[in-house]
Each structure stands twice: as structure tokens, then as C-alpha cells.
């Protein structure tokens, strides 16, 4: 049986369709890569590939299983990645409604205080965890803590992280340039994300995985300062490095979210965006080309019915006819070519050379296919008395 792939035409709605699906794929890829759950992504990818192939070739059993399980799968993904889905929804909402610019009047002074306090505590081997809120809401990610709302100062940080103080356990949270909370617990990153470190660093990374907060972590054991931000944990080689990172974080907070997103649309995470676009286009092409009608041409025999007793066919000048059928890939998949026959009724035909038109009505074929071309359009037979 021939196999011809149809190239579907692309309309505006198709482009919109690909765009929306590409965005969904991008969000999924970004979350998966940020969370380090590449295996989870691979499993989802395999399921999507099987589903697309099932759609492409209209496999009834696989399609039914997938359609029944699809809603359950979406709900499961939403539950497993609920924090990421919520954060993504918040960001999309802010982007659409226009994010406000988070201006902290004395940001550079606060940055100096943080740099000084962090490296001083590192020198003294005092463990510390300081969270600076970005644009994302934090409350849903924090566990417990004591409200404070105080001006940030180095002595305050030393007191809060003093191992002898009752509230030293946990993280300090800074909001709008002020110390908003202390002794707060953060979500932990999965084991293996920062193998050389313990729970303090995993807590820093865990929060940075879920939102855009900037987390400064001071190691009690090693006396070093690290920053967890954007899903990464980086060791700061000196006060200058931390100051630079704080500066760019403050610049990010000052910018209007809508401008940031638009200007960075084509520059940031280009590889993931291209991959998402490629996957979306591939899925669309597979499904649309499968959904389109396909055409197959068959050479079929001619059957002569109801030949009267007193006559016989002495010569059938045409024995085979080329018939082109149109229909879905599935319809052709289940078609037995031998079931297609041109069937002509010779009832009451008189002796002599006769010509019969081969119309679509004379072609016997399954109902889910239709005749689009016949070659030749007529057949000739010679009828003689018996």
C-alpha cells in the first residue's frame, strides 16, 4: 500500500495553535529543567510522542486509553508541580496585567549592609540564611516564623543569627527593604542538588527553585557565602561578587516586569524556547497531516453482473480500472484492496459492441472512503448471442 504524507496548509489559527502549545511546552520544559527533573520530563516527552503518533495514525485503542487518562495526567502534573504551576500563573498574570516596579529607596545602602554582615558572619563561622523577596509572593512557601518589620542593620543580623538566641534557627526574610520575619523555614531542595552541603543550603536552593527570591546563605562549617537564585547556588568569592549580584537583583526588581519580559523574550533561554517551538510545530504537523484527507490509487478489477442467458461476453476490452479513493489514514489502514471492485450491471444488454460509463456509483468500496478519480471513465465489451 502506498504511503504519502500530506503537507498541511498553515492558517492563522494554526499559527495561534502552535504558539499556545509552544508556550505550554516551554513552561513545562523550564519547570522541569529548573527542578532538575529531567527524568520526569523524558517520561512526559515519551507519552506525548506516543499520543501524537496515535493521533497521526488514528490508533483507536491507544487513543481511547490516552483520552481517558489525559485529564488524570494533567491533574496529577498540576498536583505534583503545584508550586511551580502557581508561580508560573502568578508571573503570567503579572505580565498580562502589568507588573509594578519594586523600588526600594535605600537599596544600595541595604546591599552594603548585607554584604558586610554576610562576610562578617562567614568570618565568625556564624551560619545565616537571608531571603530577599523578588517579585513572586513568598508567604505560601514559608513555614512559620516571627514577624518583625525592622530596619536592616548588621547588628540586627548578628543578633538574629546568634546561635545562643532563641530565634536563630531558620531564615530571615527581607521585604521592601525591611526585615519582615525571622526563624522562618523554607522548602528544601531535593537531595543531590547541593551534595557537599547540608540542610541550610538545600533550604536556600529549595526556595530559589520555586520563586525569584534572592537567598544569601552563610556556611557555619566552611565560613563561605553563597547565593541561591534562579535555581542555582553560587559561591561568592568575595564581598565584590556578592555586591555585584545584589546590584543586578535590585536592577531586576526596579524594572517594570512587562518591559523585562518583552525585551528578553528573544534573548533569554533561547535554546529552550526553540526546542518548545520545534516540539509544538512537530506535534501540530503530525496531528494535522494525520487529520487531513489522504489519497490512494488502486488498480481494481471490473466485474460484470446480470449477464442474460441468451448472450455472452466474447471480449472484455477493459479488465482493470484505476480508482483513486480519499479518506483518513485509519480508513485506509483497515482497507483490504481486494474489496474494491468496479461492478457493472449488464441486465438487458443487447448483442454488439457496448460501452459502459464507470461512475463512482459503480465502484464498490467502504463507506468511509470516497471516489475522487476513475481512469478510464468508460469500459467497452463485446456481447454475442449464446
E-strand stretches of 247-369: 294-305, 311-316, 320-327, 341-345, 352-357, 363-364
Which of 150-183 are b and which e, b meaning 16 or more Cβ less than 10 Å from the residue's Cβ? eebebebbbebbeeeeebbebbbbbeebebbbbb
Q: Which residue is nearest to ligand ATP (CB)?
A: 198
> Of 128 and 342, which has the nearer Cβ to ligand ATP?
128
How many residues make contact with ligand ATP (CB under 6 A)? Answer: 18
Q: Tell me whether strands 341-345 and 294-305 are parallel, antiparallel or unpaired.
A: parallel
3-class secondary structure, 383? strand
- Piece of 79-87, 97-105, 182-190, 369-377 that binds ligand ATP (CB under 6 A): 182-190
Q: Which residue's CB is nearer to ligand ATP, number 220 or number 293?
A: 220
Is the Cβ of residue 27 or residue 173 nearer to ligand ATP in the bound state? Answer: 173
Report the 3 state secondary structure along 107-132.
HHHHHHHHHHHHHHHHHCCCCEEEEE
List the interface residues with ligand ATP, window 285-314 (CB under 6 A). Answer: none
Minimum Å distance from CB 187 to ligand ATP? 7
User: Could you say whether residue 185 binds ligand ATP (CB under 6 A)?
Assistant: yes
According to CB under 6 A, which one of 171, 215, 228, 340 is a site residue for ligand ATP?
A: 171
Q: Residue 199, interface with ligand ATP (CB under 6 A)?
A: yes
CA 227 remoteness from chain centre: 29
Distance CA 264, CA 262 (A): 5
For residue 147, the minimal CB distance to ligand ATP (Å) is 16
Nearest distance in Å: CB 175, ligand ATP: 17
- Residues 6+ positions from 155 with CB-CB distance below 8 Å: none
How deeply is 149 buried, as exposed, middle or buried, from its count of CB atoms within 10 A (0-12, 13-18, 19+)?
Answer: exposed
Task: In angstroms, give the least distance from the CB of 201 to ligand ATP.
Answer: 4
Nearer to ligand ATP, 152 or 186 (CB): 186
CA angle (234, 235, 237) in 5-degree steps: 130
User: Where are the strands (E) in 15-170, listed by range?
Assistant: 128-132, 146-151
Q: Which is nearer to ligand ATP, 29 or 233 (CB)?
A: 233
Among 127, 177, 290, 327, binds ligand ATP (CB under 6 A): 127
* By the rule CB under 6 A, 226 interacts with ligand ATP: no
DSSP state of 31: H
Q: Does residue 222 bind ligand ATP (CB under 6 A)?
A: yes
Residue list 130-169, contact with ligand ATP (CB under 6 A) = 169
Say whether residue 170 binds ligand ATP (CB under 6 A): yes
Nearer to ligand ATP, 235 or 386 (CB): 235
Q: Cell digits for 384?
A: 454475442
Residues that bind ligand ATP (CB under 6 A): 127, 129, 169-171, 185-186, 188, 197-201, 203, 219-222
Amino acid at each position: 500500500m502506498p504511503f504519502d504524507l500530506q503537507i498541511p496548509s498553515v492558517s492563522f489559527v494554526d499559527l495561534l495553535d502552535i504558539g499556545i502549545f509552544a508556550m505550554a511546552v516551554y513552561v513545562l520544559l523550564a519547570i522541569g529543567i529548573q527542578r532538575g527533573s529531567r527524568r520526569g520530563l523524558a517520561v512526559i516527552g515519551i507519552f506525548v510522542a506516543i499520543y501524537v503518533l496515535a493521533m497521526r495514525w488514528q490508533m483507536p485503542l491507544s487513543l481511547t486509553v490516552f483520552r481517558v487518562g489525559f485529564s488524570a495526567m494533567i491533574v496529577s502534573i498540576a498536583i505534583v508541580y503545584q508550586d511551580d504551576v502557581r508561580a508560573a500563573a502568578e508571573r503570567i498574570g503579572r505580565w498580562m496585567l502589568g507588573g509594578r516596579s519594586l523600588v526600594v529607596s535605600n537599596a544600595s545602602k541595604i546591599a552594603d549592609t548585607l554584604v558586610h554582615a554576610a562576610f562578617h558572619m562567614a568570618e565568625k563561622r556564624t551560619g545565616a540564611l537571608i531571603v530577599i523577596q523578588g517579585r513572586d509572593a513568598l508567604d505560601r512557601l514559608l513555614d512559620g516564623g516571627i514577624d518583625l518589620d525592622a530596619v536592616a542593620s548588621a547588628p540586627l543580623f548578628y543578633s538574629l543569627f546568634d546561635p545562643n538566641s532563641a530565634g536563630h534557627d531558620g531564615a530571615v526574610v527581607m521585604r521592601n527593604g525591611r526585615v519582615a520575619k525571622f526563624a522562618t523555614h523554607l522548602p528544601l531542595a531535593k537531595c543531590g542538588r547541593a551534595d557537599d552541603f547540608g540542610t541550610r543550603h538545600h533550604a536556600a536552593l529549595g526556595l530559589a527553585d520555586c520563586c525569584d527570591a534572592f537567598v544569601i546563605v552563610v556556611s557555619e562549617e566552611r565560613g563561605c557565602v553563597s547565593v541561591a537564585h534562579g535555581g542555582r547556588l553560587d559561591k561568592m568569592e568575595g564581598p565584590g561578587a556578592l555586591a555585584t549580584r545584589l546590584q543586578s537583583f535590585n536592577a531586576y526588581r526596579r524594572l517594570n516586569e512587562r518591559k523585562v519580559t518583552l525585551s528578553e523574550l528573544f534573548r533569554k533561554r533561547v535554546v529552550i524556547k526553540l526546542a518548545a517551538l520545534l516540539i509544538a510545530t512537530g506535534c501540530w504537523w503530525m496531528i494535522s497531516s494525520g487529520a487531513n484527507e489522504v489519497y490512494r490509487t488502486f488498480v481494481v478489477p471490473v466485474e460484470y453482473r446480470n449477464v442474460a442467458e441468451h448472450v455472452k461476453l466474447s471480449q472484455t476490452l477493459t479488465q482493470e480500472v484505476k480508482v483513486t479513493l480519499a479518506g483518513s489514514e485509519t480508513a485506509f489502514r483497515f482497507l483490504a484492496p481486494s474489496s474494491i471492485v468496479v461492478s457493472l450491471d449488464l441486465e438487458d444488454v443487447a448483442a454488439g459492441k457496448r460501452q459502459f460509463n464507470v461512475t463512482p456509483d459503480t465502484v464498490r468500496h467502504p463507506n468511509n472512503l470516497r471516489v475522487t478519480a476513475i481512469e478510464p471513465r468508460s469500459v467497452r465489451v463485446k456481447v454475442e448471442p449464446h
